[in-house]
Amino acid sequence: MVVIRLARGGSKKRPFYHINVADARMPRDGRFIERLGFFNPVARGQEEALRLDLERVEYWMSKGAQPTDRVKKILKDVKKAQA
């Protein structure tokens, strides 16, 4: 199964996540198919907190990719902000 999930980066106490499309059997931070954007939960000031290619997300979901719970929440928030 193909999933859309977060892969953790950043240093200790400063998380940074890449939003990836990956095979569900691969490790969380391991091999991925495509990188769709990033999420920075500790962004401050002028830092960009989220960048996401919604067109590619829709493409992968149409092909059967399943987003994780956290990615679903991020997508919901992005769509709400655009409306």
Q: Cβ of 53: how many Cβ atoms within 10 Å? A: 14
Read off the pLDDT band of 64 (50, 70, 90): very high
| Selection from 64, 62, 73 nearest residue 19 by Cα | 73
What integer pLDDT is reported at residue 82 of this predicted model?
Answer: 85
54-62 vs 69-82: helix crossing angle, rounded to 10: 130
Across the strands, what pairs with 2? 23
pLDDT for residue 83: 82
Domains of the chain: 2-82 (3.30.1320.10)
Model pLDDT for residues 17-30, shown as the tens digit of each residue: 999 999 999 999 99
- 20: its two tokens: 């990836």
Q: What percent of the chain has pLDDT over 90?
A: 94
* Alpha carbons 36 and 38: distance in angstroms, whole number: 7
